Amino acid sequence: MSQAAAMASARARGTESADHAVESIRLPLFKQWLTELPDASRRQVWLDLGRLQVCLVPHLLEHSARLLVADLTIGGESGSDQRVALDRLLPQCCWNEPLDRVCLWDLLDYLEPENLSTLSAELAGHAGHGCRLHALIQYSRADMPQSPRRLRLKPDGMLEVSNRSAATRTAPRPSPKRLEKLMPEFAVDRTMLLNNGMQEFVLVRK
Amino acid sequence: MFQKRESNETEQTHNPQASAQRSEPARAVSSGKVATIGPTVRIEGRLEAEEDVILEGRFKGTVDLKKNTLTVGKDGSLEAEVYAATILVEGKVDGDLYASERLNIRKSARVTGNIYAPRISLEDGARFRGSIDMDADSEPFRKAFGGKSTKPPAEISAARPSGSQPSDARKAETSGDGNPTGNAGNKQSSGTAG
């Protein structure tokens, strides 16, 4: 389907989203993560399940943190395809040090529930004491883009969010309780509603 | 197989903005001699040299240029462990990269593997999957180069999120830039921001 046709279809369904607009949002909880990095104690290990965020690298490495980048691409695949992607990717990660922080970005919105639980169990198995996860979940709107948005952390600390297409799908919008049920190894620690309708979640290893 | 040429090109800058403005292919040259592996060349095995190497073709194996520079050009494809003083990647790499001085990943690069270097330059748009380690005291780095790097401490040329310096960040926290709520413990809390 062409982009124009997809947009027209979305409009007809009344599900047109923010379309292709690029918006910048603040991530207060994520920013707080950065400020909480210890100065020179034990080195931290971060796992970024999304694409390489170039602007994140200098700060982490200045603190001698180790950064693992998974570049996990999950879109509109079936649950079994997602599972294949997870099974292929996760063993490749360097698990020789316990994880302190995990950046999930908007991955939780796109993973099928059973795969979410699989990912949670895998992360929990490699999580260090007090390991925290950060996620962005569509909350205010009932729909979300069909495919994950392009998320780019900018030098000013804002997150640039751009849609790849106008097509939408129903957003799972899990409550904190539902999320904890799907990810039983973690507890919701903090949430923050952002002005674009997404919600920041910080989960902590139980 | 190898095309040798004398190079007058200058060393790469660490400034990604400056480097992004250049249109010509990047070349990191640390010595006068450069060997180029051309785009139609495919090699498997171990590559050792006392001069810089530019890879435009395909190489599979191990690269040992501990005193020199390896450049993987845009059309270059490398499936190897690499040990070099400086590594510059514009093309595709599948393997671990050890640079005793610095490593530069350009926006056209596609890298899968772990990278170890005391100084790293990354350009937005590069695809990377693996780990980034700039600790010159780390075990892999020591194994690769037999001791701590003689270069200065970690230095990165990519831009950092503003306010992420510890001191600046603490100021930002109290200046109302976002208003996170909640406790340090497990107690759940919520708030709004924009």
pTM of the shown model? 0.77
Which pLDDT score is estimated for A110? 92
Tens of pLDDT, residue by residue over A180-201, are 999 999 999 999 999 888 999 9
B 35-94 residues with CB < 8 A to A: none
Point out the residues of chain B with pLDDT beneath 70. 1-31, 136, 147-194
Question: How high is the mean pLDDT of chain A?
Answer: 83
Q: Does the beta-carbon distance from A152 to B124 stay under 8 Å?
A: yes
Tens of pLDDT, residue by residue over A130-182, are 899 999 999 988 999 988 889 999 988 899 999 877 889 999 999 999 999 99
pLDDT interval class at A49 (50, 70, 90): very high
Q: Does B174 touch chain A (CB under 8 A)?
A: no
CB pairs under 8 A between A and B: 155
Note whether B88 and B13 are within 8 A (CB). no
Which pLDDT score is estimated for B48? 96
pLDDT interval class at A9 (50, 70, 90): very low
Which pLDDT score is estimated for B194? 41
Note whether A93 and A163 are within 8 A (CB). no
- Which chain A residues contact residue B133 at CB under 8 A? 66
| CB within 8 Å of B141: residues ≥ 6 apart | B98, B116, B133, B135, B148, B149
Region for A48 from its dihedrals, namely left if φ exceeds 0, alpha if ψ lies in -120 to 50, beta otherwise = beta
Burial class (CB in 10 A: 0-12, 13-18, 19+), A56: buried
Chain A residue with minimal CA distance to B128? A52
Which pLDDT score is estimated for A95? 65
Whether ipTM > 0.85 holds is no
Residue A74 in this model has a pLDDT that exceeds 80: no
**Which whole number is the average pLDDT over A46-74?**
86
B 108-127 residues with CB < 8 A to A: 114, 120, 122-124, 126-127
Strand B2-6 and strand B155-156: the pairing is unpaired
Note whether A160 and A154 are within 8 A (CB). yes
Q: Does B152 touch chain A (CB under 8 A)?
A: no
